[in-house]
């Protein structure tokens, strides 16, 4: 039996790994532990990009996205565009557990939540409303919908992705977010997309993403990293490969690489992270009972 390993995105990922570690110590599975960690962040109103207190879209509405994946069975579930349901990661797991489907969206996902005992509640707080109003993009026509330009600010799309390897070597992962602040209503990023924001396979590894979702979707980041580990690359090499791919695709379009970051755990439990240039990315790691916050070094591939 090996020490359990938990890795989660951003400084608030420390809460996630602490919670996940306690869940593992209580006998929960890797996926259950990852879900507990993610839900702790969903419940924190101070985090403006996940769950309760998330910043709204261009109309001020808070909508949430999430997915989960079990590395033992490849069972996965996802929801997107869900309003007034706080624990969307748990809802995504319910999709996997109770339906033959993988992905539910919008009103259908909300209906499914209500049918299974979830409660409706407002997701905004006085503080999140004030921040949304203060930072809202200005438009000349007050009646027009403010549309964000191509996203660049890292503080408006800080997804929490939690990856867990338990003592038996099984992997589980969860990704949950309120998405890009001021996004067009209906916009969905990478976070609920299996293979983009998250992919987990006991035989290959676990990988997750955070940052500008459009760029992460474009490279199929989580699947790219997991398949790289399946082919024998280390977790660090897999994360760096994803960054390299973001740079390469940005160069083809003649734009600067977006601010994105990646985390991974290989089947042996080695965690790693990487990010694009101009991205200040910290992530939390728990191995055994030791918990630390690490700074990812931006990977600048030679073009």
**Structure-block tokens of residue 45:** 């109103």
Catalytic residue among 9, 159, 161, 279: 159
For domain 5-135+147-295, the question of CATH label 3.60.20.30 is answered with yes
Write the DSSP assignment of 156-175 as a string of letters: G---EEEEEE-TTS-EEEEE
pTM of the model: 0.94
Q: Is 161 a catalytic residue?
A: no
Kindly give the interhelix angle for 13-25 and 30-42, rounded to the nearest 10 degrees: 140
**Structure-block tokens of residue 285:** 């790691």
Domain-wise residue ranges, the chain = 5-135+147-295
Alpha-helix residue ranges (DSSP H) falling in the chain: 13-25, 30-42, 88-98, 106-115, 126-135, 213-219, 221-230, 235-253
- Dist. CA 40–CA 271, nearest whole Å: 21
Each residue's pLDDT expressed in tens, for the chain with a length of 303 residues: 689 999 999 999 999 999 999 999 999 999 999 999 999 999 999 999 999 999 999 999 999 999 999 999 999 999 999 999 999 999 999 999 999 999 999 999 999 999 999 999 999 999 999 999 998 887 655 555 555 444 444 444 589 999 999 999 999 999 999 999 999 999 999 999 999 999 999 999 999 999 999 999 999 999 999 999 999 999 999 999 999 999 999 989 888 888 999 999 999 999 999 999 888 999 999 998 899 999 998 987 775
CB 80 within 8 A of CB 103: yes
Instruction: Note the maximum CA span of the chain.
Output: 62
């Amino acid at each position: 039996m090996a020490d359990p390993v938990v890795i989660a995105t951003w400084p608030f990922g420390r809460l996630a790994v602490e919670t996940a570690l306690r869940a593992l110590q209580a006998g929960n599975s890797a996926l259950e532990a990852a879900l507990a960690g993610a839900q702790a962040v969903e419940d924190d109103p101070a985090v403006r990009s996940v769950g309760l207190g998330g910043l709204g879209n261009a109309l001020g509405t808070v909508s949430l996205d999430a997915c989960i994946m079990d590395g033992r069975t490849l069972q996965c579930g996802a929801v997107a565009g869900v309003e007034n349901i706080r624990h969307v990661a748990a809802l995504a797991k319910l999709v996997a557990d109770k339906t033959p489907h993988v992905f539910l969206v919008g009103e259908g996902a909300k209906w499914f939540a209500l049918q299974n005992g979830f409660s409706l509640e407002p997701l905004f707080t006085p503080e999140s409303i004030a921040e949304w109003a203060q930072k809202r993009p200005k438009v000349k026509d007050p009646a027009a919908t403010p549309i964000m330009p191509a996203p660049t600010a890292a503080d408006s799309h800080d997804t929490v992705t939690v990856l867990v390897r338990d003592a038996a070597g099984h992997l589980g992962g969860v990704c949950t977010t309120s998405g890009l602040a001021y996004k067009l209503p209906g916009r969905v990023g990478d976070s609920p997309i299996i293979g983009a924001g998250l992919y987990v396979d006991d035989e290959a590894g676990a990988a997750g993403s955070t940052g500008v979702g459009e760029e992460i979707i474009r490279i199929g980041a989580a699947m790219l990293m997991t398949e790289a580990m399946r082919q024998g690359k280390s977790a660090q090499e897999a994360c760096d490969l994803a960054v390299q791919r973001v740079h390469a695709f940005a160069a083809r379009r003649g734009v600067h690489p977006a601010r994105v970051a990646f985390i991974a755990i290989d089947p042996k439990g080695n965690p790693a992270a990487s990010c694009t240039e101009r991205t200040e990315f910290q992530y939390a790691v728990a191995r055994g009972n030791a918990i630390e916050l690490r700074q990812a070094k931006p990977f600048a591939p030679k073009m």
